Structure 1
Amino acid sequence: MKIASWNVNSLNVRLPHLEQWLKDFGPDIVGIQETKLEDHKFPDSALIAAGYRSVFAGQKTYNGVALLSREPAQDVQIGIPGFEDEQKRVIAGTFGQLRVINLYVVNGQDVGTDKYAYKLRWLEAVHAWIADELQRYPKLIVMGDFNIAPDERDVNDPLVWNENHILTSTAERGALNKLLQLGLHDAFRLHSDEAGVFSWWDYRAAGFRRNLGLRIDLTLVSEALKASAVASGIDREPRTWERPSDHAPAWVQLA
Protein backbone atom coordinates (compact mmCIF):
# COMPACT_ATOMS: atom_id res chain seq x y z
CA MET A 1 0.00 0.00 0.00
CA LYS A 2 1.38 3.38 -1.05
CA ILE A 3 0.35 6.44 0.94
CA ALA A 4 1.39 9.95 -0.05
CA SER A 5 1.09 13.60 0.92
CA TRP A 6 1.19 16.49 -1.55
CA ASN A 7 0.68 20.21 -1.12
CA VAL A 8 -0.73 20.98 -4.57
CA ASN A 9 -0.83 24.77 -4.05
CA SER A 10 -4.21 25.23 -5.78
CA LEU A 11 -6.13 22.20 -6.98
CA ASN A 12 -7.84 24.34 -9.59
CA VAL A 13 -4.46 24.98 -11.23
CA ARG A 14 -2.86 21.64 -10.49
CA LEU A 15 -5.70 19.19 -11.22
CA PRO A 16 -4.10 17.99 -14.49
CA HIS A 17 -0.85 17.38 -12.59
CA LEU A 18 -2.68 15.49 -9.88
CA GLU A 19 -4.52 13.32 -12.42
CA GLN A 20 -1.26 12.53 -14.23
CA TRP A 21 0.58 11.76 -11.01
CA LEU A 22 -2.19 9.50 -9.70
CA LYS A 23 -1.96 7.54 -12.96
CA ASP A 24 1.85 7.36 -12.93
CA PHE A 25 2.54 6.78 -9.23
CA GLY A 26 -0.59 4.82 -8.34
CA PRO A 27 -0.94 5.64 -4.63
CA ASP A 28 -3.70 3.99 -2.60
CA ILE A 29 -4.29 6.96 -0.29
CA VAL A 30 -3.28 10.59 -0.82
CA GLY A 31 -3.56 13.56 1.49
CA ILE A 32 -3.52 16.86 -0.35
CA GLN A 33 -3.14 20.33 1.10
CA GLU A 34 -3.75 23.88 -0.10
CA THR A 35 -6.63 22.91 -2.36
CA LYS A 36 -7.77 26.56 -2.19
CA LEU A 37 -11.28 25.57 -3.28
CA GLU A 38 -14.68 25.89 -1.70
CA ASP A 39 -16.33 22.49 -1.31
CA HIS A 40 -18.88 22.98 -4.07
CA LYS A 41 -16.00 23.48 -6.52
CA PHE A 42 -14.05 20.38 -5.52
CA PRO A 43 -13.44 18.19 -8.63
CA ASP A 44 -15.00 15.08 -7.13
CA SER A 45 -16.26 13.64 -10.42
CA ALA A 46 -12.87 14.04 -12.14
CA LEU A 47 -11.17 12.19 -9.32
CA ILE A 48 -13.80 9.43 -9.37
CA ALA A 49 -12.97 9.03 -13.07
CA ALA A 50 -9.33 8.67 -12.05
CA GLY A 51 -10.30 5.87 -9.64
CA TYR A 52 -10.36 7.78 -6.35
CA ARG A 53 -13.00 8.66 -3.80
CA SER A 54 -12.61 11.96 -1.97
CA VAL A 55 -13.43 13.61 1.32
CA PHE A 56 -12.52 17.26 1.63
CA ALA A 57 -12.78 20.50 3.55
CA GLY A 58 -12.00 23.66 1.68
CA GLN A 59 -12.32 27.41 1.61
CA LYS A 60 -11.91 30.11 -0.98
CA THR A 61 -8.36 31.18 -1.88
CA TYR A 62 -6.62 29.71 1.19
CA ASN A 63 -5.89 26.40 2.93
CA GLY A 64 -8.08 23.38 2.13
CA VAL A 65 -7.36 19.68 2.68
CA ALA A 66 -8.60 16.41 1.21
CA LEU A 67 -8.10 12.66 1.37
CA LEU A 68 -8.21 10.69 -1.87
CA SER A 69 -8.45 6.91 -1.72
CA ARG A 70 -9.31 3.88 -3.79
CA GLU A 71 -11.75 2.75 -1.10
CA PRO A 72 -14.04 5.26 0.66
CA ALA A 73 -12.85 6.73 3.95
CA GLN A 74 -14.78 5.94 7.11
CA ASP A 75 -15.08 7.88 10.39
CA VAL A 76 -14.11 11.16 8.73
CA GLN A 77 -13.02 13.97 11.03
CA ILE A 78 -12.67 17.56 9.83
CA GLY A 79 -10.79 19.98 12.07
CA ILE A 80 -9.18 19.44 15.45
CA PRO A 81 -11.84 18.37 17.97
CA GLY A 82 -12.40 21.05 20.60
CA PHE A 83 -10.19 23.61 18.84
CA GLU A 84 -12.11 26.50 17.30
CA ASP A 85 -10.54 27.34 13.98
CA GLU A 86 -12.11 28.69 10.81
CA GLN A 87 -9.13 27.60 8.73
CA LYS A 88 -9.51 24.29 6.89
CA ARG A 89 -6.30 22.51 7.78
CA VAL A 90 -7.16 19.05 9.10
CA ILE A 91 -8.94 15.98 7.78
CA ALA A 92 -8.77 12.36 8.93
CA GLY A 93 -10.28 9.08 7.80
CA THR A 94 -10.12 5.37 8.51
CA PHE A 95 -9.34 2.68 5.95
CA GLY A 96 -9.83 -0.75 7.44
CA GLN A 97 -7.58 -0.78 10.52
CA LEU A 98 -5.52 2.16 9.27
CA ARG A 99 -6.20 5.69 10.49
CA VAL A 100 -4.82 8.53 8.35
CA ILE A 101 -4.55 12.15 9.51
CA ASN A 102 -3.77 14.79 6.90
CA LEU A 103 -2.45 18.13 8.18
CA TYR A 104 -1.71 21.48 6.63
CA VAL A 105 0.26 22.96 9.50
CA VAL A 106 0.22 26.73 10.02
CA ASN A 107 3.16 28.53 8.39
CA GLY A 108 3.63 31.01 11.24
CA GLN A 109 4.94 33.96 9.18
CA ASP A 110 7.85 35.00 11.44
CA VAL A 111 9.09 34.12 14.91
CA GLY A 112 7.41 36.34 17.49
CA THR A 113 4.35 37.29 15.41
CA ASP A 114 0.72 36.57 16.23
CA LYS A 115 0.68 33.96 13.46
CA TYR A 116 3.66 32.24 15.07
CA ALA A 117 1.86 32.13 18.42
CA TYR A 118 -1.19 30.70 16.65
CA LYS A 119 1.00 28.02 15.05
CA LEU A 120 2.30 26.91 18.43
CA ARG A 121 -1.22 26.82 19.93
CA TRP A 122 -2.42 24.87 16.92
CA LEU A 123 0.40 22.34 17.28
CA GLU A 124 -0.43 21.88 20.96
CA ALA A 125 -4.04 21.11 20.04
CA VAL A 126 -2.92 18.68 17.34
CA HIS A 127 -0.63 16.92 19.83
CA ALA A 128 -3.44 16.38 22.34
CA TRP A 129 -5.77 15.07 19.63
CA ILE A 130 -3.20 12.70 18.10
CA ALA A 131 -2.38 11.33 21.56
CA ASP A 132 -6.05 10.34 21.85
CA GLU A 133 -6.17 9.00 18.28
CA LEU A 134 -3.22 6.71 18.97
CA GLN A 135 -5.14 5.11 21.82
CA ARG A 136 -8.04 4.38 19.48
CA TYR A 137 -6.05 3.58 16.35
CA PRO A 138 -2.65 1.96 16.94
CA LYS A 139 -2.09 1.81 13.17
CA LEU A 140 -1.86 5.53 12.48
CA ILE A 141 -0.25 7.71 9.82
CA VAL A 142 0.06 11.47 10.29
CA MET A 143 1.11 13.22 7.13
CA GLY A 144 1.05 16.59 5.46
CA ASP A 145 2.80 19.87 4.93
CA PHE A 146 4.22 20.39 8.42
CA ASN A 147 5.93 23.72 7.69
CA ILE A 148 8.73 22.50 9.97
CA ALA A 149 12.07 21.11 8.78
CA PRO A 150 13.03 18.44 11.34
CA ASP A 151 16.81 19.04 11.51
CA GLU A 152 19.86 20.45 9.72
CA ARG A 153 19.85 17.67 7.11
CA ASP A 154 16.48 18.97 5.95
CA VAL A 155 17.52 22.53 5.03
CA ASN A 156 19.75 23.90 2.30
CA ASP A 157 21.71 26.22 4.61
CA PRO A 158 21.67 25.61 8.39
CA LEU A 159 23.26 29.01 9.01
CA VAL A 160 20.21 30.71 7.49
CA TRP A 161 17.61 28.19 8.65
CA ASN A 162 18.59 28.35 12.30
CA GLU A 163 16.93 28.23 15.73
CA ASN A 164 15.57 31.77 15.29
CA HIS A 165 14.11 31.31 11.79
CA ILE A 166 10.54 30.42 10.94
CA LEU A 167 10.12 26.72 9.99
CA THR A 168 13.27 25.79 11.92
CA SER A 169 12.90 27.63 15.23
CA THR A 170 13.52 25.90 18.53
CA ALA A 171 9.86 25.99 19.53
CA GLU A 172 8.61 24.62 16.20
CA ARG A 173 11.08 21.75 16.16
CA GLY A 174 10.25 21.12 19.80
CA ALA A 175 6.56 20.78 18.92
CA LEU A 176 7.40 18.31 16.14
CA ASN A 177 9.64 16.30 18.45
CA LYS A 178 6.86 16.22 21.01
CA LEU A 179 4.64 14.63 18.38
CA LEU A 180 7.31 12.06 17.57
CA GLN A 181 7.63 11.23 21.25
CA LEU A 182 4.05 9.98 21.20
CA GLY A 183 5.43 6.99 19.28
CA LEU A 184 5.52 8.32 15.73
CA HIS A 185 8.40 7.85 13.32
CA ASP A 186 9.50 10.01 10.39
CA ALA A 187 9.14 7.41 7.62
CA PHE A 188 11.77 9.05 5.41
CA ARG A 189 14.37 8.74 8.16
CA LEU A 190 13.58 5.05 8.62
CA HIS A 191 15.28 4.50 5.26
CA SER A 192 17.70 7.36 4.72
CA ASP A 193 20.14 9.54 6.64
CA GLU A 194 20.88 11.55 3.52
CA ALA A 195 21.01 15.33 3.75
CA GLY A 196 19.79 17.65 1.02
CA VAL A 197 16.65 15.70 0.08
CA PHE A 198 13.88 18.28 -0.02
CA SER A 199 10.14 18.46 -0.68
CA TRP A 200 9.72 22.23 -1.14
CA TRP A 201 11.63 24.76 -3.22
CA ASP A 202 10.93 28.46 -3.56
CA TYR A 203 9.76 29.57 -7.00
CA ARG A 204 12.20 32.46 -6.81
CA ALA A 205 15.95 32.53 -7.51
CA ALA A 206 15.87 29.22 -9.43
CA GLY A 207 15.29 27.48 -6.12
CA PHE A 208 14.52 24.07 -7.59
CA ARG A 209 17.34 24.05 -10.14
CA ARG A 210 19.80 25.06 -7.41
CA ASN A 211 18.21 22.67 -4.89
CA LEU A 212 17.63 25.47 -2.41
CA GLY A 213 14.88 23.61 -0.61
CA LEU A 214 13.52 22.28 2.64
CA ARG A 215 12.04 18.94 3.68
CA ILE A 216 8.82 20.06 5.33
CA ASP A 217 6.38 17.50 3.89
CA LEU A 218 6.38 14.46 6.16
CA THR A 219 4.81 11.05 6.57
CA LEU A 220 4.86 9.88 10.19
CA VAL A 221 4.03 6.27 11.04
CA SER A 222 3.06 4.86 14.41
CA GLU A 223 5.09 2.22 16.23
CA ALA A 224 2.60 -0.44 15.13
CA LEU A 225 3.36 0.42 11.47
CA LYS A 226 7.12 0.92 11.75
CA ALA A 227 8.08 -2.62 10.74
CA SER A 228 5.72 -2.59 7.75
CA ALA A 229 7.00 0.75 6.39
CA VAL A 230 9.26 -0.85 3.79
CA ALA A 231 10.07 2.22 1.65
CA SER A 232 9.65 5.98 1.61
CA GLY A 233 10.79 9.01 -0.30
CA ILE A 234 10.08 12.26 -2.12
CA ASP A 235 8.85 12.17 -5.73
CA ARG A 236 10.59 15.12 -7.38
CA GLU A 237 9.13 14.43 -10.82
CA PRO A 238 6.00 16.63 -10.53
CA ARG A 239 8.18 19.58 -9.50
CA THR A 240 9.81 19.43 -12.96
CA TRP A 241 6.49 19.87 -14.80
CA GLU A 242 5.22 23.10 -16.30
CA ARG A 243 3.52 25.40 -13.75
CA PRO A 244 4.27 23.05 -10.85
CA SER A 245 3.37 23.24 -7.22
CA ASP A 246 6.31 24.42 -5.14
CA HIS A 247 6.01 21.13 -3.21
CA ALA A 248 6.72 17.55 -4.26
CA PRO A 249 4.84 14.51 -2.92
CA ALA A 250 6.22 12.69 0.12
CA TRP A 251 5.30 9.00 0.33
CA VAL A 252 5.58 5.84 2.37
CA GLN A 253 4.93 2.25 1.32
CA LEU A 254 3.46 -0.27 3.74
CA ALA A 255 3.96 -4.00 3.22
Structure 2
Amino acid sequence: MINTLWLRTFCTLVEVGHFTRTAERLHMTQSGVSQHVRKLEDQLGAELLVRQGKHFSLSGAGERLYNEAQDILRALSNLSRQVGEDPPYEGEVRIMSPGSVGLKLYPHLLALQRAHPMLAIDYRFAPNSDVESGIADSRVDIGFMTSKSALADVICKPVAQESLLLVTPAVVEDPDWGALMKLGFIDHPDGSHHANLLLGANYPEFQHSNLFPKKGFSNQIGLILEPISMGLGFTVLPQYAVEAYGKQKQIKTYRLENPVSETLYLCVQRERRLQARVETVIAEVMRWL
Protein backbone atom coordinates (compact mmCIF):
# COMPACT_ATOMS: atom_id res chain seq x y z
CA MET A 1 0.00 0.00 0.00
CA ILE A 2 1.36 3.41 -0.99
CA ASN A 3 2.24 5.71 1.89
CA THR A 4 -0.07 8.70 1.36
CA LEU A 5 2.29 11.09 3.19
CA TRP A 6 5.09 10.30 0.75
CA LEU A 7 2.66 10.51 -2.15
CA ARG A 8 1.46 13.95 -1.08
CA THR A 9 5.05 15.15 -0.76
CA PHE A 10 5.85 13.86 -4.26
CA CYS A 11 2.80 15.55 -5.82
CA THR A 12 3.58 18.85 -4.07
CA LEU A 13 7.16 18.67 -5.39
CA VAL A 14 5.88 18.13 -8.93
CA GLU A 15 3.52 21.11 -8.64
CA VAL A 16 6.07 23.44 -7.04
CA GLY A 17 9.03 22.26 -9.15
CA HIS A 18 11.64 22.99 -6.49
CA PHE A 19 12.87 21.02 -3.47
CA THR A 20 13.50 24.01 -1.21
CA ARG A 21 10.14 25.69 -1.87
CA THR A 22 8.36 22.34 -1.45
CA ALA A 23 10.04 21.94 1.93
CA GLU A 24 8.85 25.42 2.94
CA ARG A 25 5.27 24.74 1.86
CA LEU A 26 5.14 21.45 3.73
CA HIS A 27 7.08 22.78 6.77
CA MET A 28 9.79 20.15 6.23
CA THR A 29 13.51 20.16 5.60
CA GLN A 30 14.79 19.78 2.03
CA SER A 31 16.40 16.49 2.99
CA GLY A 32 13.04 15.33 4.36
CA VAL A 33 11.42 15.99 0.97
CA SER A 34 14.16 14.07 -0.79
CA GLN A 35 13.82 11.22 1.69
CA HIS A 36 10.06 10.92 1.08
CA VAL A 37 10.58 10.73 -2.67
CA ARG A 38 13.34 8.12 -2.30
CA LYS A 39 11.17 5.99 0.00
CA LEU A 40 8.31 6.20 -2.48
CA GLU A 41 10.63 5.12 -5.32
CA ASP A 42 11.91 2.22 -3.21
CA GLN A 43 8.36 1.17 -2.34
CA LEU A 44 7.25 1.23 -5.99
CA GLY A 45 10.50 -0.13 -7.36
CA ALA A 46 10.66 2.61 -10.02
CA GLU A 47 12.54 5.84 -10.57
CA LEU A 48 10.08 8.76 -10.42
CA LEU A 49 12.42 11.71 -11.01
CA VAL A 50 15.15 12.21 -13.53
CA ARG A 51 17.62 14.27 -11.49
CA GLN A 52 19.85 16.84 -13.24
CA GLY A 53 21.89 18.61 -10.56
CA LYS A 54 19.51 20.85 -8.62
CA HIS A 55 16.83 20.35 -11.24
CA PHE A 56 14.62 17.38 -12.07
CA SER A 57 12.05 16.16 -14.56
CA LEU A 58 9.50 13.37 -14.29
CA SER A 59 10.24 9.90 -15.56
CA GLY A 60 7.51 7.99 -17.36
CA ALA A 61 6.63 6.24 -14.09
CA GLY A 62 6.62 9.60 -12.31
CA GLU A 63 4.18 11.09 -14.84
CA ARG A 64 1.84 8.12 -14.52
CA LEU A 65 1.96 8.22 -10.73
CA TYR A 66 1.31 11.96 -10.60
CA ASN A 67 -1.69 11.71 -12.95
CA GLU A 68 -3.24 8.86 -10.97
CA ALA A 69 -2.43 10.40 -7.59
CA GLN A 70 -4.57 13.50 -8.16
CA ASP A 71 -7.82 11.56 -7.92
CA ILE A 72 -6.54 9.55 -4.97
CA LEU A 73 -5.50 12.57 -2.92
CA ARG A 74 -8.68 14.45 -3.82
CA ALA A 75 -10.81 11.48 -2.71
CA LEU A 76 -8.88 11.23 0.57
CA SER A 77 -9.34 14.94 1.17
CA ASN A 78 -13.09 14.69 0.50
CA LEU A 79 -13.37 11.62 2.73
CA SER A 80 -11.63 13.41 5.59
CA ARG A 81 -13.93 16.40 5.21
CA GLN A 82 -17.07 14.27 5.00
CA VAL A 83 -16.15 12.22 8.06
CA GLY A 84 -15.48 15.38 10.02
CA GLU A 85 -18.70 17.06 8.94
CA ASP A 86 -21.73 16.90 11.21
CA PRO A 87 -24.61 18.51 9.29
CA PRO A 88 -27.74 19.22 11.38
CA TYR A 89 -30.24 18.40 8.61
CA GLU A 90 -28.69 15.43 6.80
CA GLY A 91 -28.62 11.71 7.55
CA GLU A 92 -30.77 9.13 9.29
CA VAL A 93 -32.15 9.49 12.81
CA ARG A 94 -33.51 6.31 14.42
CA ILE A 95 -36.24 6.79 17.02
CA MET A 96 -38.24 4.30 19.06
CA SER A 97 -41.10 4.91 21.46
CA PRO A 98 -44.38 3.50 22.74
CA GLY A 99 -47.22 3.98 20.27
CA SER A 100 -49.00 6.81 22.05
CA VAL A 101 -46.13 9.29 21.96
CA GLY A 102 -45.29 8.04 18.47
CA LEU A 103 -48.72 9.07 17.21
CA LYS A 104 -48.06 12.51 18.64
CA LEU A 105 -44.55 13.03 17.31
CA TYR A 106 -44.31 11.16 14.01
CA PRO A 107 -46.38 13.63 11.91
CA HIS A 108 -44.29 16.56 13.20
CA LEU A 109 -41.04 14.74 12.40
CA LEU A 110 -42.28 13.96 8.90
CA ALA A 111 -42.96 17.68 8.47
CA LEU A 112 -39.35 18.32 9.57
CA GLN A 113 -38.12 15.81 7.00
CA ARG A 114 -40.23 17.42 4.31
CA ALA A 115 -38.60 20.76 5.08
CA HIS A 116 -35.14 19.11 5.01
CA PRO A 117 -35.25 16.23 2.46
CA MET A 118 -31.69 15.09 3.26
CA LEU A 119 -32.94 14.10 6.72
CA ALA A 120 -34.34 10.56 7.08
CA ILE A 121 -36.66 9.70 9.98
CA ASP A 122 -36.77 6.03 11.02
CA TYR A 123 -39.54 5.76 13.65
CA ARG A 124 -40.46 2.46 15.34
CA PHE A 125 -43.30 1.88 17.81
CA ALA A 126 -42.33 -0.53 20.59
CA PRO A 127 -42.86 -1.27 24.30
CA ASN A 128 -40.49 0.12 26.92
CA SER A 129 -38.38 -3.05 27.08
CA ASP A 130 -37.66 -2.99 23.35
CA VAL A 131 -36.86 0.72 23.44
CA GLU A 132 -34.44 0.14 26.30
CA SER A 133 -32.58 -2.69 24.55
CA GLY A 134 -32.51 -0.75 21.27
CA ILE A 135 -30.72 2.15 22.95
CA ALA A 136 -28.30 -0.09 24.84
CA ASP A 137 -27.41 -2.00 21.63
CA SER A 138 -26.97 1.20 19.54
CA ARG A 139 -29.84 0.26 17.22
CA VAL A 140 -31.62 3.47 18.19
CA ASP A 141 -30.38 7.07 18.43
CA ILE A 142 -33.25 8.38 20.58
CA GLY A 143 -35.76 6.49 22.69
CA PHE A 144 -38.84 7.50 24.65
CA MET A 145 -40.01 5.42 27.60
CA THR A 146 -42.75 5.67 30.19
CA SER A 147 -40.54 4.14 32.87
CA LYS A 148 -36.95 4.92 33.76
CA SER A 149 -34.34 2.45 32.52
CA ALA A 150 -32.46 0.36 35.05
CA LEU A 151 -29.51 -0.17 32.65
CA ALA A 152 -26.29 1.69 33.40
CA ASP A 153 -25.72 2.31 29.67
CA VAL A 154 -29.03 4.15 29.20
CA ILE A 155 -29.52 7.75 30.38
CA CYS A 156 -33.14 8.84 30.89
CA LYS A 157 -34.32 12.41 31.32
CA PRO A 158 -37.94 13.28 32.22
CA VAL A 159 -39.36 15.53 29.50
CA ALA A 160 -43.16 15.42 29.79
CA GLN A 161 -46.17 14.16 31.67
CA GLU A 162 -48.84 12.28 29.72
CA SER A 163 -52.30 11.99 31.28
CA LEU A 164 -54.18 8.72 31.31
CA LEU A 165 -57.78 9.07 30.10
CA LEU A 166 -60.88 6.99 30.49
CA VAL A 167 -62.48 6.63 27.03
CA THR A 168 -66.06 5.53 26.40
CA PRO A 169 -68.47 5.68 23.48
CA ALA A 170 -69.90 9.17 22.97
CA VAL A 171 -73.38 8.09 24.12
CA VAL A 172 -72.24 7.40 27.69
CA GLU A 173 -73.46 10.15 30.02
CA ASP A 174 -71.97 9.07 33.34
CA PRO A 175 -69.09 6.60 33.51
CA ASP A 176 -69.99 5.23 36.92
CA TRP A 177 -69.00 1.73 37.97
CA GLY A 178 -72.22 0.17 36.74
CA ALA A 179 -71.86 1.79 33.30
CA LEU A 180 -68.30 0.49 32.94
CA MET A 181 -69.32 -3.02 33.97
CA LYS A 182 -72.11 -2.95 31.42
CA LEU A 183 -69.82 -1.71 28.64
CA GLY A 184 -66.94 -4.10 29.19
CA PHE A 185 -63.21 -3.53 28.65
CA ILE A 186 -61.36 -3.18 25.35
CA ASP A 187 -57.86 -4.36 26.21
CA HIS A 188 -54.48 -3.48 24.65
CA PRO A 189 -50.84 -4.32 25.52
CA ASP A 190 -50.73 -1.74 28.35
CA GLY A 191 -54.45 -1.94 29.11
CA SER A 192 -54.20 -3.70 32.46
CA HIS A 193 -51.38 -1.42 33.62
CA HIS A 194 -53.19 1.78 32.62
CA ALA A 195 -56.48 0.59 34.11
CA ASN A 196 -54.77 -0.29 37.38
CA LEU A 197 -53.28 3.20 37.60
CA LEU A 198 -56.30 5.30 36.66
CA LEU A 199 -59.29 3.23 37.71
CA GLY A 200 -57.57 2.06 40.89
CA ALA A 201 -57.19 5.70 41.92
CA ASN A 202 -60.82 6.62 41.21
CA TYR A 203 -63.15 3.63 41.73
CA PRO A 204 -63.28 1.97 45.18
CA GLU A 205 -64.75 -1.14 43.53
CA PHE A 206 -61.77 -1.61 41.23
CA GLN A 207 -59.36 -4.45 41.94
CA HIS A 208 -58.18 -5.53 38.47
CA SER A 209 -59.20 -5.02 34.87
CA ASN A 210 -60.19 -8.70 34.74
CA LEU A 211 -63.29 -7.74 36.74
CA PHE A 212 -64.78 -6.25 33.56
CA PRO A 213 -66.25 -8.35 30.79
CA LYS A 214 -63.56 -8.46 28.09
CA LYS A 215 -65.02 -7.08 24.86
CA GLY A 216 -61.92 -7.07 22.66
CA PHE A 217 -58.21 -6.54 22.27
CA SER A 218 -55.97 -4.67 19.79
CA ASN A 219 -52.21 -4.29 19.70
CA GLN A 220 -52.35 -1.59 17.01
CA ILE A 221 -52.28 1.80 18.73
CA GLY A 222 -54.22 3.48 15.94
CA LEU A 223 -57.05 0.93 16.13
CA ILE A 224 -57.65 0.54 19.86
CA LEU A 225 -60.39 3.19 19.87
CA GLU A 226 -62.26 1.76 16.88
CA PRO A 227 -64.44 -0.59 18.97
CA ILE A 228 -65.06 2.19 21.51
CA SER A 229 -66.29 4.47 18.73
CA MET A 230 -68.72 1.70 17.73
CA GLY A 231 -70.12 1.39 21.25
CA LEU A 232 -68.48 -1.98 21.98
CA GLY A 233 -66.68 -1.11 25.23
CA PHE A 234 -64.40 1.32 27.07
CA THR A 235 -60.65 1.53 27.65
CA VAL A 236 -57.92 3.58 29.32
CA LEU A 237 -55.28 5.20 27.08
CA PRO A 238 -52.61 7.89 27.26
CA GLN A 239 -53.69 11.34 26.12
CA TYR A 240 -51.54 11.45 22.96
CA ALA A 241 -53.13 8.28 21.60
CA VAL A 242 -56.60 9.65 22.24
CA GLU A 243 -55.83 13.03 20.65
CA ALA A 244 -54.52 11.32 17.49
CA TYR A 245 -57.74 9.39 16.91
CA GLY A 246 -59.68 10.65 13.90
CA LYS A 247 -63.27 10.07 15.10
CA GLN A 248 -63.42 12.34 18.13
CA LYS A 249 -67.19 12.85 17.88
CA GLN A 250 -67.80 9.14 18.40
CA ILE A 251 -65.88 8.86 21.67
CA LYS A 252 -65.92 10.65 25.00
CA THR A 253 -62.93 11.17 27.30
CA TYR A 254 -62.92 11.80 31.03
CA ARG A 255 -60.37 13.37 33.34
CA LEU A 256 -61.40 11.74 36.58
CA GLU A 257 -61.42 13.29 40.05
CA ASN A 258 -57.98 11.85 40.83
CA PRO A 259 -55.91 12.46 37.69
CA VAL A 260 -53.07 10.07 36.89
CA SER A 261 -50.16 10.77 34.55
CA GLU A 262 -47.20 8.81 33.26
CA THR A 263 -43.78 10.43 33.08
CA LEU A 264 -42.26 10.37 29.61
CA TYR A 265 -38.48 9.96 29.52
CA LEU A 266 -36.08 10.89 26.73
CA CYS A 267 -33.41 8.18 26.66
CA VAL A 268 -30.02 7.94 24.93
CA GLN A 269 -26.92 5.77 25.25
CA ARG A 270 -24.57 7.02 27.93
CA GLU A 271 -21.26 6.84 26.02
CA ARG A 272 -22.56 7.94 22.63
CA ARG A 273 -21.96 11.48 21.37
CA LEU A 274 -25.13 12.90 19.87
CA GLN A 275 -24.71 14.00 16.27
CA ALA A 276 -26.04 17.35 15.12
CA ARG A 277 -28.98 15.79 13.26
CA VAL A 278 -30.01 13.91 16.43
CA GLU A 279 -29.86 17.18 18.38
CA THR A 280 -32.06 18.73 15.66
CA VAL A 281 -34.69 16.03 16.11
CA ILE A 282 -34.58 16.31 19.91
CA ALA A 283 -35.13 20.06 19.67
CA GLU A 284 -38.12 19.50 17.36
CA VAL A 285 -39.57 16.86 19.68
CA MET A 286 -39.32 19.17 22.69
CA ARG A 287 -41.40 21.76 20.83
CA TRP A 288 -44.34 19.35 20.71
CA LEU A 289 -44.20 17.61 24.06
Which of the five TM-score ranges fits, normalised by the shorter chain? Answer: under 0.3
Q: State the TM-score, normalized to the length of structure 1.
A: 0.27
Of Structure 1 and Structure 2, the greater helix share is in: 2
Structure with the greater alpha carbon radius of gyration: 2
| Higher relative contact order (CA closer than 8 Å, sequence separation 6+) | 2
Q: State the TM-score, normalized to the length of structure 2.
A: 0.24
Of Structure 1 and Structure 2, the greater strand share is in: 1
